Chains A and B, each alone.
Chain A
Amino acid sequence: MAYSGPSVFGAFDMVVWQLLALAVAAMALPVAVPWLGFVITVAIGKGLAALGVAMLLRGGLISIGHALYVAVGAYATAFLMLSVGMNELFLLLVCTTAITMASGLVIGAFMARYRAIFFAMLNLAISMVFFTLLSKLYNLTGGSDGMRVATPTVLGVTLDRTKFDLVLQFSAVALMVVVALLIDRYLKSPLGEALTAIHANEVRLEYLGVSARGVILAVYTISAALAGLGGAITAVAIGHVVPELSYWTASGQLVLIAVLGGISGVPGAFIGAFFFELVRTFAADFVPDAWNAIVGVALLIVIFFLPQGLYGLLQRVKMRKARL
């Protein structure tokens, strides 16, 4: 008997198109409104971190401390430039991601034993300890003043700030597409599907001979690397790193973005991040101090009417069309 299930490649294609559409939007917006380039770059940094949080959510794990890895990435970039003298943008991104990944592996080995509220709280605790260290170790980290991050070179070329920002924005968009496609593959692989399986029934997974802890350690490490990469992009975009990057409200934002965007597909985290950053930017101009309320209301709408997030809305429209 032959089965014609949903074609993997069909689904893969759809995600490709969605990401490309997102990429085009991310490049086109700043053409119309140049200062939005910075907003887009920062949003992609957040989107990468939120994607890490969304992956954990698929496994039923809520981390309310993932800003830790954003901060680890941001400070790693600052230190690599200041202490190691590494100045090349792409080398910085690669090394920072590797460093954050290693930290995720070490901390993850401990975290993978915990579930539910314990997992959430332990992540929060570690991020707050890190925040305190960043704030108090003045001689090393500059304390609450943070550290300056100079403008890196790009492939050996020193660019002025405007050109650099443009290159960074384009690189961030390209990274978003490439990373999202890789993560999409991972999520559809046995290792990625095992994550959803853990959420549904961890005992059964163990009875398939699979180590649930191993599966969680893998996703935790990857999610840390993503957040670190996001942190590195944020650091070079802003040119300054501060302990607040690791503060619990920043972690809360990542969960919010992940839920807002939707965790059923990789574009969700970026859609959530764009929405969040754009609302924040425009609300700050037109209705200062109200952006929190706007984001809050948006979140309520999503929770009550769009349990699959903004990305789910997109898919629903697609499905309606397909049925015609």
Chain B
Amino acid sequence: MNPILSVRDLHISFGGVKAADGVDLDIYPHEFIAIIGPNGSGKTTFLNLCTGYIRPTRGSVIFEGRSITNQAPRTITRRGIARAFQIPQLFTGHSLIENVMLSVAAQHGIWQAFRPLAHEAYRKKACEVLDLMSLGDIAHGPTANMPEGLRKLTDIAIALALKPRLLLLDEPTSGVSTAEKFALMDTIVGVLRAEKVTALFVEHDMDVVERYADRVLVWDAGQVIAGGPPQEILCSSHVLERVIGIS
């Protein structure tokens, strides 16, 4: 099987910090991959590089066989990669459902000047996504002062509404209470499996990683230092020492 995403020799540094120092990896269709690593090891930077938010000084990113290196986020999004953010990025002037409807409308081309955003077709698709994420009850509420957990969910709903083929999630369970983490991940994984979306998620909670990831990649100082099935990786003393700080 051909990889859906291939990254080769990716480099970027900020001042003296090497945030990506020769990252190489292949991700295959329908995989659900966890990225773990200490704070500041370059996990978010990797997502930024893949989606064109920052450009690598060296290396390449290939999505579905075509290069997306140095392309703008909007171009990469249109190619089929969506992203949810470590710090949720919402349209705080709009209600929850409007946030998702904007995402739905964007897919059909934003150049619609006479059809309302709240058009039945957009509304229906947005509702489907909100129901999947169990956000239906607060669909018409404002997003400006939502609690962090809901902001996180909304951010993911916006990304899912784009119907991506590859979804990048940056710490989906941060800000979500321990009690709700598994429920949230069950929901996300359920949606991804149903829609056949390949996904990559950055995660700090090893219980979540162990339970949901097909494969784990370990980041350290801008490099992938290990990769493999969770049972194997989470038992490696080397990894535990670097990532979790136990020796």
On A, residues with C-beta under 8 Å from B are: 1, 3, 5-6, 8, 185-186, 188-194, 196-197, 199-201, 203-211, 214-215, 218
Contact = CB atoms under 8 A, between A and B. Distances in A.
A197 B122 CA distance: 17
Contacts of A209: 74-75, 77-78, 106-107, 162
Contacts of A191: 110-113
Main secondary structure, interface of A, reads helix
A215 B111 CA distance: 8
B116 A189 contact: yes
A1 B91 contact: no
B230 to A, nearest CB: 29
Nearest to A198: B91
B162 to A, nearest CB: 7
B136 interface: yes
Contacts of B90: 200-201, 204
Nearest to A4: B140
Interface string B90-118: 11111001100011011100111111111
Contact of A5 (B97, B102, B111): B97
Given A190-B105, A194-B110, A8 B116 contact: yes
A217 to B, nearest CB: 11
Nearest to B84: A207
B117 A190 contact: yes
B83 A197 contact: no
Contact of A189 (B74, B89, B115): B115
Given A3-B127, A199-B93, A210 B114 contact: no
Contacts of A186: 113-114
Interface of B: 51, 53, 72-75, 77-78, 82-83, 89-94, 97-98, 102-103, 105-107, 110-119, 122-123, 127, 131, 136, 139-140, 158, 162
Given A5-B97, A8-B118, A204 B74 contact: no
Contacts, number: 116
A192 B113 CA distance: 7
B41 to A, nearest CB: 23
Nearest to A208: B106
Given A3-B140, A6-B118, 10 more contacts: A3-B139, A190-B115, A196-B93, A201-B91, A201-B92, A208-B106, A209-B75, A209-B107, A210-B74, A210-B106
Nearest to A197: B91
A190 B106 contact: yes
A32 B111 CA distance: 45
B110 A190 contact: yes
A204 B89 contact: yes
Given A189-B112, A204-B158, A197 B94 contact: yes
A132 to B, nearest CB: 35
A208 B114 contact: no
A196 B94 contact: yes
Contacts of B82: 207
The 9 tightest CB contacts between A and B, nearest first, are A190-B105, A209-B77, A208-B106, A204-B89, A209-B78, A197-B91, A200-B91, A193-B117, A200-B93
27 contacts: A3-B127, A3-B139, A3-B140, A8-B116, A186-B113, A186-B114, A188-B116, A189-B114, A190-B112, A190-B115, A191-B110, A193-B102, A197-B93, A200-B90, A200-B94, A203-B53, A203-B89, A204-B91, A204-B158, A207-B73, A207-B74, A207-B82, A208-B106, A208-B158, A210-B74, A210-B110, A214-B111
